Amino acid sequence: MSAEATNPEARPDARPELRRRGRTRLDLRRLGRAALLGPTSRDRLPDAIGHVAEAHRAHHPDADLSILRRAYVLAESSHRGQMRKSGEPYITHPLAVTLILAELGAETTTLTASLLHDTVEDTEVTLDQVREEFGDEVCFIVDGVTKVEKIDYGAAAEPETFRKMLVATGNDVRVMSIKLADRLHNMRTLGVMRPDKQARIAKVTRDVLIPLAERLGVQALKTELEDLVFAILHPEEYEHTRALIAAHAGERDPLPAIAESVRVVLREAGIHAEVLVRPRHFVSVHRISRKRGELRGSDFGRLLILVGENADCYGVLGELHTCFTPVVSEFKDFIAVPKFNLYQSLHTAFATSGGHVAEVIVRTRQMHRVAEAGVVALGNPYATAAAVTATAAAAGGSAEACADPYEERVDPTRPGWLSRLLDWQQSAPDPDTFWSVLRAELAQDREITVFRADGGTLGLPGGASCIDAAYAQHGEAAHGCIGARVNGRLTSLTSRLSDGDTVQLLLAHDASSGPSADWLEHAHTPAARIAISSWLKAHPDGAAATTTAARAPLSVVGARGGGGNAVADLPDATVRLAGCCTPVPPDAVAGFVVRGGAVTVHRVQCAAVAQMRSLGRTSVAVHWRATADCRVTLLAESFGRPHLLADLTEAIAREGVEVVSATVEPPVEQRVRHSYTLQLPDATGLPALMRAMRDVPGVYDVSRA
């Protein structure tokens, strides 16, 4: 996995400024000598992993280090004699990877698997040996980060390796944690490789590993990976950014003075907080310079304020906005609404009297730990009684007690993007398709959550449409989706969804329904695009259920007319019910004399009534006879499907209502509008009739004309 890496000291253009401040650096020569000397006595921790043990105990004071000792002994003995291209003993690589994870706060099982992560791939150690010695959990993680054999997969080895790791990550995110730390150490030590190979590895890191680090919330790894990739792929822009940072280092930095002012304000308010100046990393400075042009002193860093409780975050925010001039457009509340990668903080900015603008991040110390280490800081999110027992048994060396550590696992932190990846990768057997779609999916840098009508939620990428929601909720059954309601309003399937929307998806009951080719233009998730493409390939003639060819409205007209049981207070006047609103008893009505002396009767809410009165027309009083029969026009809106008109007509007939006329308009986006003029034997039966029409499959609304 890492035999291509080399020692940073051997790289003439190594950039020490990329190293994160305060991070312990490995003395590879010392570790190399310790590795070559072999393990120490059984009752003593090997010197070579003393720094790992120290970092681990800083986060987990009660951790049992005996399993780490056994893992190191196996890793060192199996890798003995193997050298990296830099000439260092190979054991220095798993040690470095394990140290990275230990500093982030990874628990003991992760560190054990990290020490062993290359043994199965590069030595004679087998998975069965790992399982027997360290238990099922460690074995599963080691297997997850082990590459597939290139001799078996050829050019598809790299995408298939990532597919395997993603599937394993779906069961245990610690697999990807180790992979990210492994890639970081290899990127740190990439110096002696050919430039073309450096560029190839850097591009994969940029397109796949960095987005995965972002999604898993491991900012400490993500930012350093970004800087290393930036230096390799964009050397000129990197040098320009480095020059900007170097020039700023020689100037007076205003942020320390601003931080002291903030400390005074918070101290006087009685808020216990730690105020730090946090320098921006290289890529962040580059982005700010492109956004703002010329940089000022406060642009090279941000203030980080750490407090104890969530409520203190908002207390700090109130004091900052009261004592300084806030920049309202910069305020974001990621505590109330966390990012999809578990990130929580308050972001704001304020202007000082000296003309500087300071950006501020406010979070609790626990939020800070999660923001830096992401899923690594959460330990084992799947821990159940069985898993805890398995881990304890593994630490004691008993494999018999580790029956099934994954039984009934429910990952509370498993995000929607990972579930989507696991779903669609099953439908992408072609490695090239998987590789290209994976990069496209990871390029989505925003996630939204929409609510289903049944109360569940769907996690979707930003810009997703109702089509994406349909396939996320219903899978291949979404081929028959014919419409959607978003926040209670009917909308087309191509409509984009926003964070917090409620979506109700409407499916056709006809098995022959299917997607149209233009759905691909509005589908953003790989699952939707793969499913639609597969259906279109299997049905080259398209769905037979709906046709978009324009045709004249279909009309069926009866012979009856007149004013029904409406009577106007005008002797011998002919009364007609207005077709625009078709009033029925007991509607409040008004009549107006029209050409020929007839009186047209409207509901008082009808727009025609307001228009007549605005023209100065005097209304005629109208009342209803005691007879109950009436005439009404109803509009039925539905999704097109075979036999819909027949089913609606049958529903009307079952209510004992006569159809005077019916009009069916041509379908638009699979939606059809029906207009029925009906003669009811009793006006009180109108609500029941409308309910019966709404119950017809495919009908989504029935209203009065």
Active site residue 122: yes
Closest CA to 21 of 245, 345, 213: 245
Q: Edge-to-edge strand order for the sheet containing 447-452?
A: 457-461, 447-452, 502-507, 481-486, 489-491
Q: Within its chain, how far is the Cα of 169 from the centroid? A: 16
Q: Whole-angstrom Cα distance, residue 437 to residue 235?
A: 28
Tokens of 680: 């009811």
Residue 31 burial (C-beta neighbours within 10 Å; 0-12, 13-18, 19+): buried
User: Which one from 76, 103, 122, 224 is the annotated catalytic residue?
Assistant: 122
CB atoms within 10 A of CB 292: 11
Q: Within its chain, how far is the Cα of 120 from the centroid? A: 34
Q: Whole-angstrom Cα distance, residue 73 to residue 94?
A: 12
User: Which one from 4, 47, 121, 669 is the annotated catalytic residue?
Assistant: 121
Inter-residue long-range contacts of 688-691, CB under 8 Å, 24+ positions, other chains counted? 688/655, 689/634, 689/652, 689/655, 689/657, 690/634
Q: Where are the alpha helices (DSSP H) in 64-107?
A: 66-79, 92-104
Tell me the angle at which helices 50-59 and 92-104 cross, rounded to the nearest 10 degrees.
Answer: 20
630-639/622-624 β-pairing = unpaired
User: Which residues are CB-neighbours of 356 under 8 A, at least 6 positions away?
Assistant: 254, 258, 296, 297, 298
- Cα angle value 573/589/575 (rounded, 5°): 20
Active site residue 121: yes
Find out whether 623 and 588 touch, Cβ atoms under 8 Å. no
Q: Whole-angstrom Cα distance, residue 601 to residue 570?
A: 13
Q: Does the N-terminal peptide bond of residue 586 adopt cis geometry, omega within 30 degrees of 0? A: yes
Catalytic residues: 121-122
